[in-house]
Structure 1
Amino acid sequence: MREKRVHPRYSNDEFTLLANAAALSRMPVGGYVAETSLAAARADDPTAAVADYRAMVKALMAANGQLGKIGGNLNQLAWHLNKDGAWPALDLVQRLLDRVEASIADVDAAVAQVTSGR
């Protein structure tokens, strides 16, 4: 039974980062904070564990940003299709879809790293 409590405080930006990382890990924020802090505490080198974790979170946030940009590109593509009814150059569409697939693979790899560390 867990009887000890810690009450960390976060800025709005920090909490947003935590909430996003927790959501990607499919965990509530409190559980995510507990699991990641325990993972670092259990590591042979807690400083390195925290640095690795920060790098993974940065990778997730970067991938998330890329997916947002790609979503914007897909919205532009849909707008043009609805307006003109004509597809843009096929190679342009293929490059866009390749970027979508690569970004999703990046996010999947980063999530796998985070979740395997639990």
Structure 2
Amino acid sequence: MADKQRVRRRERQADAPRSHRVNLAFNDNELAVLHEAAGREGMAPAAWAARAALAVAKEIVVPVSVDAREVLAELIQSRGELGRIGNNFNQIAFVLNSGGTVTPAQLEAVSIRVEAAVKRLDDATLQVMRERRDGS
């Protein structure tokens, strides 16, 4: 961990020196969370807070609420589902290009999956957009 701190210190010293200060206030629980996060990174709490604040300000990192993690999990799941559906369409195309036939029931089953996955993806995307707009 000491090596990580030295590297970070050298990286920061290569930039312009930090001559401006911002005072932050935390309650006991918030301060404990800050110390825990800084400790995981082997950083001082003030340095960790400065790095996190700049990452958010530069939009390198976009904060996500705990509730939004469920929405992001839904997006990831929907993306996987759409990938599997794409595979189904490729199989249908292969059969049709080989002179085979596909039943209307098979096409309808894939269409239903497409419609459901796209709706889930749309709903999750709209939720993320609402949270970004509302700052939640």
Return the TM-score normalized by structure 1.
0.60
Residue 22 (structure 1) aligns with: none
Count of residue correspondences: 81
Residue 93 (structure 1) aligns with: 107
Letter matched to residue 33 of structure 1: V
Q: Are residue 60 (structure 1) and residue 75 (structure 2) matched? A: yes
Q: Are residue 33 (structure 1) and residue 61 (structure 2) matched? A: yes
Q: 1:76 aligns with which of 77, 87, 91?
A: 91
Stretches of structure 2 that go unaligned for 5 or more consecutive residues are: 1-48, 53-57
* Higher relative contact order, structure no. (Cα contacts within 8 Å, ≥ 6 residues apart): 1
Aligned equivalents of 1:80, 1:111: Cα separation in 2: 34
Aligned equivalents of 1:109, 1:82: Cα separation in 2: 35
CA offsets, 1:16-58, max 9 Å, x none? xxxxxxxxxxxxxx63723xx2xx6xxxxxxxxx321110110
Q: Are residue 109 (structure 1) and residue 123 (structure 2) matched? A: yes
Stretches of structure 1 that go unaligned for 5 or more consecutive residues are: 8-29, 41-49
Aligned equivalents of 2:93, 2:82: Cα separation in 1: 16
Residue 41 (structure 2) aligns with: none
Aligned equivalents of 1:56, 1:73: Cα separation in 2: 25
Q: Structure 1 stretches (4+) deviating beyond 4 angstroms? A: none
Aligned equivalents of 1:95, 1:32: Cα separation in 2: 41
Residue 51 (structure 1) aligns with: 66
Residue 6 (structure 1) aligns with: 51
Aligned equivalents of 1:58, 1:91: Cα separation in 2: 31
Return the TM-score normalized by structure 2.
0.53
